[in-house]
Amino acid sequence: MAVQPWRTGKVIRIENETSSTRRFWIEIPELPSFDFKPGQFVTLDLPIDEKPSKRWRSYSIASWPDGTNIIELVIVLLEGGLGTNYLFNHVTVGSELILRGPQGVFTLPDVIDKDLFFICTGTGIAPFRSMAHYIRDHDVPHQNIYLIFGCRLLCDGLYNSEMKELASQMSSFNYIPTYSREGGDNTEIRRGYVHAIYEEICKEKGITAARFYLCGWKNMIDEAKQRIQALGFDRKSIHQELYG
Ligand SMILES: Cc1cc2nc3c(=O)[nH]c(=O)nc-3n(C[C@H](O)[C@H](O)[C@H](O)COP(=O)(O)OP(=O)(O)OC[C@H]3O[C@@H](n4cnc5c(N)ncnc54)[C@H](O)[C@@H]3O)c2cc1C
């Protein structure tokens, strides 16, 4: 695929989603519409280093293709992180951002003929939010979808009410948040890591064919790949977007 040109985007809206996570809406005025596939990402060229390659940071597009030239990113502030500190401390509504994209092959299959497991932690939910809305808006034929989202505390939840709303509109869409440091015991809040959940669903439902999409940081992805294969699924049924 041809390398995309760098374009100038304009930040048109910023909202705090949690205490450490922000949603950024970026308009690309030179394009009538920014076309992408759900699951793809853009790369920002941030003024944080002399060397171009050290300035680039990639972010999944959290919105879904809607025919406009506006995209949404959801970004977590990393302590000591050069790029995210720049985005959180220097970028305001009206700021310009240099970006390239869409990029990436972490996208839905042409035909969704198996159950989909969307497994993520933190801002790794971004590509799955895009995919889920796209499937609903376009009535894409599909099987069951399990969005398994992990974070530490209830207050770290991202798009929580929106995902619950989607689940209430699509009976095939199952949204299962889990918290590593909250809930459990006699509460309705699921405590623990993401892994126990897909293992439980696969065993209880006797699922033998599925596609697993993993998105987030290395520890979660490495462990999930091992466990999914231990369940008997082929490596080819696993797709991943590694954030770092
Ligand atoms: C394809 C792709 C899509 C991505 N999409 C998103 C997204 O939608 N939202 C988002 O917030 N980030 C996303 N990332 C991560 C993002 O590109 C940056 O790595 C992140 O924002 C940190 O940049 P920084 O400059 O602040 O930190 P740096 O100074 O570059 O990072 C310092 C170190 O911390 C590690 N690190 C970075 N982030 C984390 C983290 N959260 N937890 C633990 N270790 C970490 C890095 O691997 C690096 O070694 C994506 C990465 C890729 C490759």
Q: Could you tell me the CATH number of the domain that includes residue 70?
A: 2.40.30.10
User: Does 183 share its domain with 69?
Assistant: no
In the DSSP assignment, the letter for residue 202 is H
| Statement to judge: residues 39 and 136 lie in one domain | no
CA of 58 to the centre of ligand 1 (A): 8
26 and 84 in a common domain:
yes
Which of 79, 103, 127 is where one domain is finished? 103
Q: How many structural domains does the chain have?
A: 2
Question: What domain range includes position 167?
Answer: 115-242
Confirm whether 188 is domain-assigned: yes
* Residue 234 belongs to some domain of the structure: yes
- Answer whether residue 223 is part of any domain: yes
> Probe ligand 1: pick from 43, 88, 243, max atoms within 8 Å of CB?
243
pLDDT digits (tens, 9 = 90+) for 4-18: 899 999 999 999 999
* Residue 110 domain-assigned (yes or no): no
Report residues whose beta carbon is within 6 angstroms of any ligand 1 atom.
41, 57-60, 73-76, 78, 81-84, 123, 126, 217, 241, 243-244
Residue 234 sits in the same domain as residue 122: yes
Q: Residue 85 CA: which ligand 1 atom is closest?
A: 26
Closest-CA residue, ligand 1 atom 26, reads 81
Beta strands at 173-179 and 96-103: parallel, antiparallel or unpaired: unpaired
Task: Tell me the pLDDT tens digit for each residue of 146-157.
Answer: 999 999 999 999
Q: Does residue 233 belong to any structural domain of this protein?
A: yes
Same domain, 52 and 28: yes
**How high is the pLDDT of residue 1?**
62
The answer to whether residue 2 sits within a structural domain is no
| Cα–Cα distance measured from residue 174 to residue 148, given in angstroms and rounded to the nearest whole number | 8
Q: Quick one: average pLDDT of 204-220?
A: 96
> What is the maximal distance between C-alpha atoms in the chain?
54
For residues 126 and 97, membership in a common domain is answered with no
> What residue type is 181 in one-letter code?
R
In this structure, is residue 48 part of a structural domain?
A: yes
Dist. CA 35–CA 70, nearest whole Å: 10
Q: In 3D, which of 179, 121, 117 has the Cα closest to residue 146?
A: 117
Examine the pLDDT at 167 and tell me if it is beyond 80. Answer: yes
Domain boundary among 71, 103, 135: 103
pTM exceeds cut of 0.85? yes
What's the whole-number mean pLDDT along residues 109-129? 97
Q: Say whether both 90 and 141 belong to one domain.
A: no
Encode pLDDT of 61-71 as tens digits.
999 999 999 99
User: What tokens were used for 3?
Assistant: 């390398």
